[in-house]
Every structure is written in C-alpha cells, then in structure tokens.
Amino acid sequence: MQTAAKTEPAKPLSAADAARKRRIEQLARATAEDMTQALNAMGGAPEAVNLRGPETGLVMIRGRMGGTGSLFNLGEATVTRATVRLAEGAVGHGQRLGGDKSATRLAAILDALGETPAHRAAVEAFCAEIASRIDAEDAKLAAETAATRVDFFTMVRGDD
C-alpha cells in the first residue's frame, strides 16, 4: 500500500517500450546455453557488430532509509552490458548483474532480433519460456517459505 505509493511514479510506457523492457529484463535472466540454443533454433546467431562492450563495470545500488525514506548508497554490484547492431540495422541492448560477457552479448543479439519483424515471434516465445521458468522458481521459493509460517494457537487452560 504505502510502499507502492513511495516508489517513483513510473511514466507510462508505450506498448512497444513496455514489451521491450520486459524482453530485456527476461533476457537478463537467461543462461548463455539457453540463449545459444534459442539462436540455433532461429538459424544460428546472426552477424553482429559490437557498438559498446561487452564490458563489466559497477552500478551503485541505492536503498531508502527505513525502506521508504530518503535515498542512500547501499553498495555496488558488478554489471555487464553490451550493445550490438545487426547487419540489417537493428540495435540491441543487453545488461545483467555479474560478469558474464558472452551471455550479455547473446542477450543483446536476441534483443536486436526482437526488434526485427522476422524474428520477433521467436524471441518472444523464448522470453516467455524464461518468464515461466522464473515464475516457477519464485513460486517454489514462496511455497517453501510458506511452509515455515508460524500458525499460532491458544493453549487450552487445564483448570476446568
């Protein structure tokens, strides 16, 4: 409730931007093996020029005092990013936590392919697979956590 109101008001994204945001985020969670497989199924990884990276650097992660208050810098995380351009001109971005450069580049290629009409559907299908894998992992974690929920009960007093 309050927490939702305290986050920055998100500017409404266009449908295309919202889809791309989702795609980039899902590709950030895909493994290099899965992406290689998906690209092979699409007829192999296309030629792609590196416009930037792949390069590893730092992002300073921020928190809020008391969870909802003013900002502070919590600490850094390693992040790898890559931007590629396909021969036909589509540009793709990849970025993820950690230092995996080849996975990040593959994600950028898949993002670029997602911008091309010929491959959009295949990339979206792959992203849907990643999303359902993440959902399944989250559901498992939530169910395991729920099993550790305390059920309080009132003791019956033995003075009848």
Partner 1 sequence: MYVAVKGGEAAISNAHRLLADRRRGDRSLPALSIDQIVAQLALGVDRIMAEASLYDRTLAALAMRQARGDMIEAIFILRAYRTTLPRFGYSKAVDTGAMLVERRISATYKDLPGGQLLGPTFDYTHRLLDPSLLGDNEVETGLQREPGTEPVMRVSDILAGESLIEMEESSEQNDAPGDITREPLEFPLGRDERLQALARGDEGFLLALAYSTQRGYARTHPFAGEIRIGQVEVEIDIPELGFAVSLGRVQVTECQMVNQFKGSAKQPPQFTRGYGLVFGQSERKAMAMSLVDRALRASEFGEDIVAPAQDEEFVISHSDNVQATGFVEHLKLPHYVDFQAELDLVRRMRREYDSAQEIVEEMKEAAE
C-beta separation of 45 from 106 below 8 A? yes
State yes or no: residue 130 binds partner 1 (CB under 8 A): no
Among 34, 38, 77, 90, binds partner 1 (CB under 8 A): 77
* Of positions 9, 72, 89, 154, contacts partner 1 by CB under 8 A: 72
First-to-last C-alpha distance (Å) of the chain: 45
Q: Is residue 148 close enough to count as binding partner 1 by CB under 8 A? A: yes
Name residues contacting partner 1, limited to 45-64 (CB under 8 A): 55-64
Torsion of CA 119, 122, 128, 129, to 10 degrees: -140
Question: Which uninterrupted H or E stretch holds 108?
Answer: helix 101-114
Q: Taking CB under 8 A as the rule, does residue 105 contact partner 1?
A: no
Please state, in angstroms and rounded to a whole number, the distance separating the CA atoms of residues 6 and 129: 32
- Which residues here bind partner 1, judged by CB under 8 A? 1-4, 6-8, 11, 13, 17, 20-21, 24-25, 28-29, 55-79, 81, 83, 93, 95-99, 138, 140-150, 152
